[in-house]
Amino acid sequence: MNYPPAGCSYLVHYPDGRSTATATFPDEFAFGEWFTAMEDAGRFSRTDRNVSVWCVTDAGRTAIDIMHPRLVRGRIEKRSAS
């Protein structure tokens, strides 16, 4: 799989009460750890379309779906480790 590119970091915008919060992650595994914790806390679910994710590289950023296989893999591996 060549998208998102290797070395991609992730920028996430998500609802936080009445405003929007931003978080950044160096890879899909750090994103998976955070997302799993937020999901367990009931903050949002894997199908929540209010969460916007971007793949960030030196060339710029590109939107990526929350259900992209690489992001799902990060969540699965985190869930399996806990």
Residue-wise pLDDT tens digits, 56-77: 988 889 888 888 887 888 777 7
pLDDT per 10-residue tile (average), the chain, 82 residues:
72 89 93 87 77 90 86 76 66
The total number of structural domains in the chain stands at: 1
Which residues, in sequence order, are CB contacts of 2 under 8 Å at separation 6+? none
On whether residue 27 sits in a domain, the answer given is: yes
Q: Quote the domain boundaries for residue 67.
A: 9-81
**Distant-in-sequence contacts of 56-60, Cβ < 8 A, 24+ apart:** 56/8, 56/9, 56/10, 56/11, 56/24, 57/5, 57/7, 57/8, 57/9
Contact 48, 66 (CB under 8 A): yes
pLDDT of residue 78: 66
pLDDT of residue 4: 67
pLDDT of residue 1: 42
On whether residue 2 sits in a domain, the answer given is: no
pLDDT of residue 8: 87
